[in-house]
């Protein structure tokens, strides 16, 4: 029978001390051994099995992973270090394994303007009470810190009382990931934590990291030799074999299942977790069953970090990164648990409740280029014409680019005096401004009629047909206000306007409706005109505070949406000129039903 090896381990994974024992040590023995060597981690090995124990900041020891392999134990050690100890009272340490930002790789670094635009979009879609104009961005190692500056009158000794306490600051990583933090956290600590999270998720496998460090050491020695160029080339060759990567991904999935199991009630029988991920965002649904009764639970951010890491490792597999991960655990007799894992690579369109915004899939395709992208995802992400992985060919041969037949626009109409609006199945373009349909987040198409009273001549009429689409935050203004005018009391709507409205109703509005309903049901909110739409109902400050059940009818007439509430004599009105006002009747019908 193999012996148990007890090892005190530093935060960098290096052994401080070790000893062998004939029997498995208890938690009390492990804690005493760790305290003796003034370390935060102890491993207990028996053959290939490694158990990891850790001490939290309060000094309490517990099992992080009772039994796994050495590589996964290292993964879990760094994870615990990040979520419990880093950066520590002394701040960030560049020599720490999590202290250096990962290389941008295929993603590249986003610029300041893009970071601000992403935050503006995040604020608008989340219905956050935060200014979108005048935002500034400060660069740090892994991205940008975006915030609304506060002007303080230095000449007024009491001006500090006007400084908001705990205001939000948005951390934007080079992957497009946004994390909202409070300004009460010192900027240096916020930067260090965000950088460490990206470093944890995107660090290379152990073998590749070793070779990269070896290359850096050779280059350092080469520079000190006094003969620059002595080492003319150093190539890091090879990646872990596919079966090794698969084993690591599976082992980390088991650890994720183990951590999720701690989020449920004491005597649950079954658990299902569904993660829908891209490089810059994710959703997580977790449900336990106890006596056949479902109990929903929240997935902590710490476990979401593990899921991001698992997906980054899985991206090295031939199938590439998954879009959905489904982990199911069933408890058997004697407390044994069976873990079942299912990967969804997007062969079919994802369920609406687990479909992320198109921009996140564009970020993902940039971070993980791949040859095979499902047609629905390519269309949804607006990836046509964007670079993905090139198909593999035999050496010395090239594949000629496929010549796509030019698509015929269904609208090509003059708007105003000199500029055409052109729309096909993929995009709408007006002058130099253009948007893919899948990028669009709001639509409007109000109609108005103005009567011009004549004194000694008959009255005349001007009919205005407006069509607008755009994105929240940074969006081309010209596409939000395309106007056709026609005279006459009984004028017919312009064909171009009718074609755009028909396309919006058939293609845009179903997707926008699903996105808005999903946002509401997840606890988010947004505004339509001055009306705030949220999980509980509709709010118009000073006028209406209605829950969904109190709404009796919604109708559209005379360029307005009329909302009737039980007990209210006069309906509340929302102008169809407001972005997405056309969705209000169906939003109310879905939520009230």
The per-residue pLDDT string of the chain (593 residues; one tens digit each, 9 = 90 and over) reads 679 999 999 998 999 999 999 999 999 999 999 999 999 999 999 999 999 999 998 899 999 998 899 999 999 999 999 999 988 766 778 888 898 888 776 567 889 999 999 999 888 877 788 889 999 999 999 999 999 987 655 565 554 445 455 678 999 999 899 998 887 778 888 899 999 999 999 988 765 554 455 445 445 555 555 555 544 444 444 456 678 888 999 999 999 999 999 988 888 999 999 999 999 999 999 999 988 888 888 898 899 999 999 999 999 888 889 999 999 999 887 767 889 999 999 999 999 889 999 989 988 998 888 878 899 998 998 744 343 343 333 333 333 444 444 457 888 988 877 788 999 988 999 988 889 898 899 999 998 878 777 655 577 778 889 999 998 876 778 899 999 988 877 778 889 999 999 999 888 888 888 888 878 877 778 899 888 998 889 998 778 888 888 998 888 887 888 999 888 888 898 988 999 999 998 898 888 76
3-state helix, strand, coil in the chain (%, to 5): 30, 30, 40
Model pLDDT, residue 151? 66
Q: What is the dihedral of CA 65, 70, 75, 78, to 10 degrees?
A: 80
* pLDDT score for 8: 96
Structure token pair of residue 297 = 């639970």
Residues 6+ apart with CB under 8 A from 217: none
In the beta sheet, which residues pair with residue 436? 427
pLDDT of residue 54: 96
Helix (H, G, I), strand (E, B) or coil at 363: helix
pLDDT digits (tens, 9 = 90+) for 220-232: 555 555 555 544 4
Average pLDDT over the chain, rounded to whole? 83
Backbone dihedral angles phi then psi of residue 20, each to the nearest 5 degrees = -105, 150
Q: Which two tokens stand for residue 212?
A: 């990269």
Q: Where are the beta strands (DSSP E) in 148-212?
A: 168-173, 178-182
Measure Cα distances from 566 to 306, 553, 572, 592 in Å: 48, 9, 12, 13
Q: Are 285 and 274 in contact (CB under 8 A)?
A: yes
∠ CA 14-20-23, rounded to 5°: 125
φ, ψ (nearest 5 deg) of residue 322:
-75, 160
Instruction: Yes or no: say if 285 and 367 are a contact pair by the CB < 8 Å rule.
Output: no
Query: What does the pLDDT read at residue 40?
Result: 96
Instruction: Look at residue 356 and give its three-state secondary structure.
Output: coil
Query: What would the two tokens of residue 179 be?
Result: 């994390």
**What are the structure tokens assigned to 395, written together?**
């050496």
Residues whose CB falls within 8 Å of the CB of residue 401, separated by 6 or more in sequence, listed in order? none
Question: Which H or E element spans position 589?
Answer: helix 584-592
Q: List, for residues 6-53, the tens digit of each pLDDT value.
A: 999 999 899 999 999 999 999 999 999 999 999 999 999 999 999 999
């Amino acid at each position: 029978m193999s012996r148990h090896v007890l090892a005190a381990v530093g935060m960098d994974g290096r052994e401080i001390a070790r000893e062998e024992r004939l029997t498995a040590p208890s938690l009390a023995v492990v804690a005493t051994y760790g305290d003796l060597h003034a370390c935060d981690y102890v491993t207990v090995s028996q053959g290939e099995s490694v158990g990891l124990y850790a001490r939290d900041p309060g000094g309490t020891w517990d099992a992080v992973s009772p039994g796994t392999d050495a590589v996964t134990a290292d993964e879990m050690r760094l994870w615990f270090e990040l979520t419990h100890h880093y950066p520590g009272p002394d701040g960030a340490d560049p020599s720490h394994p999590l202290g250096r930002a990962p290389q941008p790789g295929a993603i590249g670094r986003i610029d300041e303007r893009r970071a601000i635009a992403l935050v503006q979009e995040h604020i608008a879609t989340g219905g956050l009470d935060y200014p979108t104009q005048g935002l500034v961005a400060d660069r740090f190692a892994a991205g940008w810190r975006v915030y609304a500056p506060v002007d303080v009158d230095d000449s007024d000794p009491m001006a500090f009382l006007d400084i908001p306490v705990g205001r939000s600051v948005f951390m934007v990583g080079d992957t497009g990931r946004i994390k909202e933090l409070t300004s009460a956290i010192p900027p240096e600590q916020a930067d260090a934590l965000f950088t460490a999270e990206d470093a944890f998720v995107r660090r290379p496998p152990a073998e590749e990291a070793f070779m990269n460090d070896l290359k850096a050491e050779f280059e350092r020695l080469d520079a000190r030799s006094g003969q620059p160029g002595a080492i003319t080339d150093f190539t890091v060759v090879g990646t872990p074999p596919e079966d090794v990567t698969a084993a690591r991904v599976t082992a980390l999935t088991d650890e994720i299942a183990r951590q999720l199991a701690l989020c449920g009630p004491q005597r649950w029988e079954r658990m299902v977790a569904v993660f829908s991920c891209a490089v810059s965002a994710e959703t997580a649904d977790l449900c336990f069953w106890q006596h056949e009764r479902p109990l929903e639970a929240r997935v902590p951010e710490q476990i979401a970090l593990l899921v991001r890491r698992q997906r980054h490792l899985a991206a090295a597999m031939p199938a590439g990164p998954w879009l959905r991960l489904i982990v199911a655990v069933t408890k058997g007799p004697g407390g044994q648990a069976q873990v079942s894992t299912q990967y969804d690579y997007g062969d079919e369109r994802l369920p609406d409740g687990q479909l992320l915004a198109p921009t996140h899939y564009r970020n993902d395709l940039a971070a993980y280029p791949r040859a095979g992208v499902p047609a629905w995802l390519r269309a949804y992400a607006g990836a046509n014409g964007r670079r993905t992985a090139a198909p593999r060919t035999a050496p010395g041969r090239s594949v000629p680019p496929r010549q796509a037949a030019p698509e015929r626009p269904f609208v090509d109409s003059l708007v105003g005096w000199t500029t055409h609006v052109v729309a096909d199945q993929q995009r709408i373009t007006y002058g130099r401004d253009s948007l893919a349909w899948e990028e669009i987040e709001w639509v409007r198409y109000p109609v108005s009629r103005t009567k011009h009273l004549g004194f000694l001549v008959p009255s005349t009429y001007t009919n205005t047909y407006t069509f607008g689409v755009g994105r929240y935050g940074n969006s081309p203004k010209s596409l939000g206000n395309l106007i056709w005018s026609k005279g006459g009391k009984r004028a017919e709507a312009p064909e171009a306007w009718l074609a755009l409205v028909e396309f919006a109703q058939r293609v845009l509005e179903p997707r926008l409706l699903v996105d808005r309903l999903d946002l509401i049901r997840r606890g988010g909110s947004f505004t339509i005109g001055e009306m705030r739409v949220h999980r509980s109902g509709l709010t118009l400050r000073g006028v209406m505070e209605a829950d969904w059940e109190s709404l009796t009818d919604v109708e559209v007439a005379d360029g307005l949406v009329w909302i009737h509430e039980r007990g209210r004599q006069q309906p509340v009105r929302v102008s169809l000129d407001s972005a997405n006002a056309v969705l209000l009747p169906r939003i109310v019908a879905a939520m009230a039903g």
